[in-house]
Structure 1
Amino acid sequence: MLGLARAQAVLVPVLVLFGALASTLGCDWLRRYTDMSDKCLILLRDLGGPITDEEFPLPFPRKLYRLASKSQAPCKLPFVRDSLGHILDVYLQVDASRVGWHAGRVDELLHILHRQKDELSACISPAKPSCFSQKLRRYYRRLTNATLNGTVSGARWELIRSETQMHLQQLHLFVAAM
């Protein structure tokens, strides 16, 4: 009887730890992320002409990415999910015909971003708040205000496309390091 109690005392924490890790390690999204990320980057590149080298009016949030990469594991997946969600929200505002982008590629990009966000959401506990949600929301609100400000010019969207490329590349590196 004493052996059974001791075995249970050891087994319960192991099962709890395994359950916590299984939701992240067993997440199908993590296995497909590289392929889906590569597709997003290719679609983004092929939306229009060459991606602009013009300087973006808002500094890239490198500090936020560093903080997220140094954070505990439960903060990392929500950071990626929320980042993808904000990128998706920005691109839902684009009118491809007015900007001069290939509408089919925009739709495919939106589909892949939405799929990544949904599949990642399935890997995260719904009760888990994002550690960086306010900072991300503030950054993307400033991004939209700094570039669009009620205008739909192609030049403004090209700036956003350039900035999006940097975000997708950083997220790709971020996930690879997890």
Structure 2
Amino acid sequence: MDPTTFRNMATILILCSALTSALCCDWLTHYNDLRNSTLVRVRSMKCPIATTTPLRFRDRLYKDMKTREETAQLHFIRGSLVQIYNLYRRGNTSTAGWDAWKTTDFLESINRQILELNECVKSTHNEATSKHEVYEKKMKRYYRYLENNTLLHPGGRDGWEMLRRETEQNLIRLDLLGNLIKDRRGQH
């Protein structure tokens, strides 16, 4: 192969790999629709609640995430959605009093975002990713706290409604973080 052909092929390969990582994140493109449908679904599941025990919200973790690079933010959003999905899959949602179809639609909407974010996270995986394990541990600890204070105690319908309210707040915060990523990329 002559040097010119090799150089052209190398240039195309480099360009393609750069574009792949920039364009592969379909989640950012479809984010507004996915976010809206997920929030609508979680709000439609609302039930009356007897207890109003306030739960500790993780404001500090979200504030820290705003200053991190995009890779860390994408990992955080994906990890949070996985934790939310697992909470709802782990418990017995029949005690929540929610319509089964609404719950299924909500979980499918979360799962779709996770699948799309998997592509974003996979394309950005590198050594810097391991630096964010501290945030992942904090996130997992928060969701364990959430499970313990909603599903395990008080449990039942009130526990599920408390979890639903916290989920709604987390989805709103994840939305703000996703919009921050889009703004930095110049996508509107």
Compute the TM-score of the two structures, normalised by the length of structure 1: 0.81
Q: Which residue of 145, 156, 163 corresponds with 1:142?
A: 145
Task: Give 1:26 shift.
Answer: 3.7
Distance in 2 of aligned mates of 1:167 and 1:40: 12
Whether 1:97 and 2:94 are equivalent positions in the alignment is yes
Tell me the equivalent position of 2:30: 32
Matches within 5 A, 1:43-122: 43-49=41-47, 54-57=52-55, 59-122=56-119
Q: Distance in 1 between matches of 2:65 and 2:19?
A: 19
Residue 116 of structure 1 and its aligned partner are, at CA, apart by: 0.7
TM-score after normalising by structure 2: 0.77
The amino acid of 1:109's aligned partner reads: F
Q: Distance in 1 between matches of 2:168 and 2:51?
A: 12
CA-based RMSD of the aligned residues comes to 2.7
Report the equivalent of 2:159: 156
Gap change, CA 1:21 and 1:55, over 3 Å in 2: farther
Aligned-residue offset at 1:74: 1.7
Write out per-residue CA displacement over residues 107-144 of structure 1, whole angstroms, 9 at most, x where no aligned residue. 11111111111110011127554612111111101111
Q: How many residues align?
A: 167
Distance 1:50 1:21, change over 3 A: farther
Q: Tell me the amino acid that sits aligned with residue 176 of structure 2.
A: L
Shift of 1:150: 6.1
Judging by fraction of residues, say which structure has more helix.
Answer: 2
C-alpha deviation, 1:99, in angstroms? 1.4
Shift in Å, 1:23:
1.8
**Deviations 1:33-85 (CA, angstroms, capped at 9, x unpaired):** 1111111111111113368993533x111110111110122211111100000
Q: Which runs of 5+ in 2 are unaligned?
A: 182-188
For residue 92 of structure 1, give the secondary structure of its aligned residue in structure 2: helix
Identity of aligned residues (%): 31
